[in-house]
Structure 1
């Protein structure tokens, strides 16, 4: 094996844990709710803090890599990732796990651009670089695909913290291998690194999401979340305004003035919202409602993620043959149809129908993601292709984060309005039961009357299934509406997009 292919093998080892960690906790919601006494709101933060922090840090960490060299960036990122993994595995409560997951995202935001830069600088031949980048992208998709399966297996046989402990030997091996294999790289001290703006952007996003989550609780608290939400919005608005007026912006938001590129960005976010939000909803239903183990839930969900990986290559052929507008619109329409079908499908009694619909959803989301990439990169001027790629990457991560938020909030609201509380519960118990199905199951375990406990579990399952149906119908409807705008704004053929 030549040295460059050895380096690519090392890059794969480094990148795989980062991609797996994005989805590894999706099947862990019931376990974490019991082991850490985590509320529904805590669980959403535990899962989506990873994507949200990464979304804000990818660009400045990429600039830091240009300044330090990707070798040093990878080593620092891996060290942070390893220590954060240990902290997450030993977390005594939900708050500590949220903080350590955010630290994991900081490390991941360093590792990801370091691996990509490593591929680009190691392979000088265009054909070899294209093959290496294809392998890199496949690792990202495969890691996200097997994340729930890895999480399910470890939760089935080991302590829940094992989903993080497996990162540590990989990190130690990777750091040693990098120091030995990767050649020395000179630093570029002229490269600017504006971490302050990125951190401010993250604060704005987190404040806005915290406000949204808090306002949807049943406690009735409204004023403080509203103030925090407005503050977050002002921070985000100010950040975008400053970037538009800057002569050297971290993110060139002026590109979004082009309708095709803006629609491509919307499609990228929507596709990620759909796949990640549905995956979280499904993981909970399979375990809470259908009593599947985490491992069986991960296996049941595997066709969805595998199909999403095949959607991109299929879409590439379809775009060339039928044009961007038809393929993009068709992909979103099929996603909408899949959601409507899954809303009416009983996963337990009709598993083959569910798998067929999940395959359709995965393929259509993969097609939509490729179509969004085509729209974004074909529209952007050649000298701004890096900025366009950065916008697309941020859209992916924000879409993943917002998918958990939006699906989680809709699920919570509809569930709380649908659950029929059995007689005999205390007022404090009723508030918990109405907040989420995980809280209802926790309350049921502490009820001394078996018949009341069974009634409560049945009521919670019924409410969750009804909420699942409503959420997917709403999602399918919104996708159907989006398909109209995609048809209106996207060009018919990729060649028709003008560079300017």
Structure 2
């Protein structure tokens, strides 16, 4: 439920903006659009470690139950947005942040609860189901959002309400504390510096993809550079604090465990690559492929979600199976092999033409889904089994932080790469295309100078921006055939397909490299390892790790 709500808004943004009466392509509204997507991800990245640590201190089940309550209340508030325009967007952004607090309580403690509950020979299967459910939620959200947006934009938020209420009642009645809470002082210095540092850093990266002056991106903006510098400095201060306090929020000592540090590095790089793939595939389908195949722009969000289902199928096939097998044979073989498949899928997508044959596209999605499923479940199990039982909450939070930060970083990294690719060739292509259909040279040149991010977001939202950019005054002065061609289904997709493919080559090449580097990190984790902790072994004789377990 929590991960589904992280992505359900992405595919529903056109309906949401229409519902609150806000033009998502207006330059002044790009910030609303970005924060609608990123607010949830940023809060999730910032809070999961803190909430996992509080679970260790006060009870993981207690934090999990409170998370359900907060999530449900925020879902109700989101579905009853009383405002329109910018105020309506701010209402949604604010309650999405509250919703993310509840979702973070769930994700920060769920893996720790399962690790407590299952013996090590069943832990991979249990965590595999949990992890694949979470990751599948990210992609199922694309389908669910498209379906519900067809009914009513508020239904996108209604869907979480009954599940949130049922989950609240069920968790309070059914879950019991197995791990023993260890009370300790709250590390206020660590909490504040980590939250501020991570939040400022990720927010600055987010604003880096927006135009600044005459530049297509904002990486030269002093505020962006200052934000990145301030965020890094705060995180350095955070590291100093954590190395000196008695009860630190972030257990830096856990990084001495090779299985833990290698697994989290692989998870971070994989999350960046996966996030970039998700957004680029949505743009590819909604902005180019679906319109070229006759789909109305208003219906492309729904069909994009449907056409991405093979990715989820691959997840659901490989996740539980690889989790079960990793209990017997260890995580390294499956997680590393999965990342090789992910890299191969990226290279296969690079070889496809922009107007591809869907069976080939679907096969590559299945391959990527299988690879990610093979990686995620064993990697999560290996990370959680490598730490002592009383630190599983904070370890789960740290794992979620790397994963959520990777998703947020992917937007800044891959959108910037794509915008840079578009900026080099889009203006000339747009000018020539408009003039070929009778648009005056000065008008065409003016339209072509608009920030590439607007064109990118138009494709991302499944919108044809030509009529919006030219306006009724210019269109009325053209011949009926030229006007119909400019506002039809083929002009805009064909116009951006060349520049988009140039950017796509850069994006997918970078993603493939990240997947391969993540594979190297996965290989470096060593042989199977279980932390020699009495409680973690649930009554097994305490000893050092045996030869088989490394």
Give distance in 1, aligned partners of 2:176 and 2:521. Answer: 49
Give distance in 2, aligned partners of 1:411 and 1:337. Answer: 21
Matches within 5 A, 1:90-489: 90=81, 92=84, 93=86, 94-113=89-108, 136-137=130-131, 139-155=133-149, 157-175=150-168, 190-194=183-187, 197-219=190-212, 220=215, 222-289=221-288, 290-291=290-291, 293-316=300-323, 325-346=332-353, 349-373=356-380, 376-377=383-384, 380=387, 387-419=394-426, 420-422=429-431, 423=441, 424-425=443-444, 427=446, 430-433=449-452, 435-439=454-458, 441=463, 443-446=465-468, 447=470, 448=472, 449=475, 450=483, 451-453=485-487, 455=491, 458-484=494-520, 486-487=522-523, 489=524
Deviation at 1:266, TM superposition (A): 1.1
Secondary structure (helix, strand or coil) at the match of 1:469 reads helix
Mark the CA change 1:29 to 1:341 in structure 2 (over 3 Å): closer, same or farther: farther
Does the aligned pair in 1 maintain the 2:267–2:403 contact within 8 Å? yes
**C-alpha distance after superposition, 1:281-335 (max 9, x if no partner):** 2122211212353222112111112312333344346657876555444332221
How high is the TM-score relative to the length of structure 2?
0.74
**For residue 85 of structure 1, what is the aligned residue in structure 2?**
75
**C-alpha distance after superposition, 1:455-488 (max 9, x if no partner):** 555423443343223311222134335545655x
Deviation at 1:390, TM superposition (A): 3.6
**C-alpha distance after superposition, 1:87-139 (max 9, x if no partner):** 43426444443332221111212234566677688x69999999876664554
Give distance in 1, aligned partners of 2:110 and 2:519. Answer: 35
When structure 1 is superposed on structure 2, of 91-100 and 338-347 the one drifting more is 91-100
Deviation at 1:377, TM superposition (A): 4.5
**For residue 37 of structure 1, what is the aligned residue in structure 2?**
23
Deviation at 1:202, TM superposition (A): 2.7
How high is the TM-score relative to the length of structure 1?
0.80
Mark the CA change 1:225 to 1:404 in structure 2 (over 3 Å): closer, same or farther: closer
Secondary structure (helix, strand or coil) at the match of 1:28 reads helix
Q: RMSD between aligned alpha carbons?
A: 3.9
Give distance in 2, aligned partners of 1:151 and 1:45. Answer: 18
**C-alpha distance after superposition, 1:323-354 (max 9, x if no partner):** 65554443322211110111222476411111
The answer to whether 1:28 aligns with 2:28 is no
Mark the CA change 1:315 to 1:470 in structure 2 (over 3 Å): closer, same or farther: same
Deviation at 1:69, TM superposition (A): 5.3
Higher RCO, Cα 8 Å, sep 6+: 2
Secondary structure (helix, strand or coil) at the match of 1:27 reads helix
**C-alpha distance after superposition, 1:148-207 (max 9, x if no partner):** 22112112x22223211222333345445666777999x989454446643542322232
In structure 2, the gaps of 5 or more residues are: 432-440, 476-482, 530-545
Give distance in 1, aligned partners of 2:181 and 2:343. Answer: 48
Deviation at 1:21, TM superposition (A): 0.9
In structure 1, the gaps of 5 or more residues are: 1-16
Which has the greater radius of gyration? Answer: 2
Does the aligned pair in 1 maintain the 2:121–2:327 contact within 8 Å? no
Give distance in 1, aligned partners of 2:257 and 2:58. Answer: 34
Deviation at 1:273, TM superposition (A): 1.9
Does the aligned pair in 1 maintain the 2:204–2:227 contact within 8 Å? yes
Give distance in 2, aligned partners of 1:322 and 1:268. Answer: 20
Count of equivalent residues: 479
Give distance in 2, aligned partners of 1:383 and 1:456. Answer: 56
Secondary structure (helix, strand or coil) at the match of 1:169 reads helix
Q: 1:491 aligns with which of 526, 533, 537?
A: 526
**For residue 50 of structure 1, what is the aligned residue in structure 2?**
40
Does the aligned pair in 1 maintain the 2:7–2:142 contact within 8 Å? yes
**For residue 10 of structure 1, what is the aligned residue in structure 2?**
none
